[in-house]
Structure 1
Amino acid sequence: MEKMMVVIYNTALESAVMKCIDTCGITCYTKVPTVYGRGETGGPRMGTHVWPGENSMLWIVAGEEKIRSLLEHARELKMKHDGKGVKVFILPVEEKL
């Protein structure tokens, strides 16, 4: 069964996130290069002088095995950065057109 993984990450981690994607054999994804918001830790990331920083977001639909592998890589990356910089959501894919 396919799953959708949504990955929101600090743009400073771009190369590390893309390396995880490549390592897991993920070849199809949609990237939103700039997203703003506020997570559970730290302040808002709005790309301004007051609230500097930006995030990116990936939407990935793949088989459960690849998604689980990518989740483990994302978990390791997050731990490497003191639990910050990466947020992952996994959703079921009911239908695809």
Structure 2
Amino acid sequence: MKSIFITYDQAHHEGVAEALKSSLCRGYTLFPTVGGCGTKTGEPHLGSHAWPAMNEAVITICDDDRVEHLLARLRKLDVDNPLLGLRAFVWNIEQTL
């Protein structure tokens, strides 16, 4: 199993939700308001007067065979909207309860 942590501009919410659904990643935890700043490009998303935009984050645990489909969908969202920002990180899951 793999854990996929996805951070993205709030404008991507519907696209990320659809990518999870179409990839059969039913279970996830949503962090609806997170701040941050990308490492390469883009402006900070801090919810402040100077930087009013905010991000969201999702973490999902899914079977290994679903990861590439989900990443492909997320990659397309990011390529189609490069100024919004979207990142996904994949980790191995050692154990579950």
How does the TM-score come out when normalised to structure 1? 0.92
Give the aligned partner of residue 90 of structure 2. 90
- 1:84, 1:63 → 2: CA distance? 28
- Displacement of 1:19 in angstroms is 1.1
CA contact (8 A) 2:4 2:61 kept: yes
Give the aligned partner of residue 54 of structure 2. 54
Residue 21 of structure 1: SS of its match in structure 2? helix
Question: Residues 64, 83 of structure 1: CA spacing in aligned structure 2 closer, same or farther, 3 A cutoff?
Answer: farther
Aligned residues: 96
Over the residues paired in the alignment, what is the CA RMSD in angstroms?
A: 1.2
Which amino acid letter does the alignment assign opposite residue 58 of structure 1?
V
Which amino acid letter does the alignment assign opposite residue 78 of structure 2?
K
Which amino acid letter does the alignment assign opposite residue 34 of structure 2?
V
Question: Structure 1 residue runs of 4+, over 4 Å off?
Answer: none
- 1:52, 1:39 → 2: CA distance? 15
What does 1:1-97 correspond to in 2, within 5 Å?
Answer: 2-40=1-39, 41-82=41-82, 84-97=84-97
How does the TM-score come out when normalised to structure 2? 0.92
CA contact (8 A) 2:35 2:54 kept: yes
Q: Which deviations, in whole Å up to 9, do the C-alpha atoms of 1:12-40 show, x marking residues without a partner?
A: 11111111111111110011111011112
Residue 50 of structure 1: SS of its match in structure 2? coil
Provide the identity percentage: 28
